[in-house]
Amino acid sequence: MAEKAASKAEIKEMEERALSVFSAERNEDITSMIFAFAVAIIIMIVVAP
Protein backbone atom coordinates (compact mmCIF):
# COMPACT_ATOMS: atom_id res chain seq x y z
CA MET A 1 0.00 0.00 0.00
CA ALA A 2 2.76 2.38 1.05
CA GLU A 3 4.76 1.36 -2.01
CA LYS A 4 1.77 2.15 -4.25
CA ALA A 5 1.38 5.56 -2.68
CA ALA A 6 5.09 6.26 -3.10
CA SER A 7 4.93 5.24 -6.76
CA LYS A 8 1.89 7.48 -7.31
CA ALA A 9 3.68 10.38 -5.65
CA GLU A 10 6.74 9.74 -7.78
CA ILE A 11 4.71 9.74 -11.01
CA LYS A 12 2.92 12.90 -9.94
CA GLU A 13 6.26 14.54 -9.25
CA MET A 14 7.49 13.54 -12.71
CA GLU A 15 4.35 14.89 -14.33
CA GLU A 16 4.79 18.16 -12.48
CA ARG A 17 8.40 18.33 -13.56
CA ALA A 18 7.24 17.83 -17.15
CA LEU A 19 5.32 21.07 -16.88
CA SER A 20 6.91 24.01 -18.51
CA VAL A 21 8.53 27.06 -16.95
CA PHE A 22 5.90 29.04 -18.86
CA SER A 23 2.52 29.72 -17.36
CA ALA A 24 0.65 28.85 -20.57
CA GLU A 25 1.23 26.59 -23.56
CA ARG A 26 0.72 29.49 -25.97
CA ASN A 27 3.41 31.58 -24.26
CA GLU A 28 5.81 28.67 -24.61
CA ASP A 29 4.90 28.18 -28.30
CA ILE A 30 5.24 31.86 -29.17
CA THR A 31 8.54 32.21 -27.29
CA SER A 32 9.96 29.09 -28.96
CA MET A 33 8.94 30.54 -32.35
CA ILE A 34 10.53 33.90 -31.59
CA PHE A 35 13.74 32.22 -30.37
CA ALA A 36 13.94 29.85 -33.36
CA PHE A 37 13.42 32.71 -35.84
CA ALA A 38 15.91 34.90 -33.98
CA VAL A 39 18.49 32.08 -34.21
CA ALA A 40 17.80 31.71 -37.95
CA ILE A 41 18.12 35.46 -38.57
CA ILE A 42 21.35 35.73 -36.55
CA ILE A 43 22.81 32.76 -38.46
CA MET A 44 21.83 34.40 -41.77
CA ILE A 45 23.50 37.68 -40.75
CA VAL A 46 26.66 36.10 -39.33
CA VAL A 47 27.20 33.17 -41.69
CA ALA A 48 25.84 34.33 -45.08
CA PRO A 49 28.57 36.85 -46.01
11-38 in b/e burial notation, b at 16+ Cβ within 10 A?
A: eeeeeeeeeeeeeeeeeeeeeeeeeeee
CB of 1 to another protein, least distance (A): 16
Determine if 31 is a binding residue for another protein (CB under 8 A). yes
Judged by CB under 8 A, the residue of 1, 2, 5, 18 near another protein is: 18
Site residues for another protein per CB under 8 A: 7, 10-11, 14-15, 17-22, 25-26, 28-33, 35-37, 39-40, 43-44, 47-48
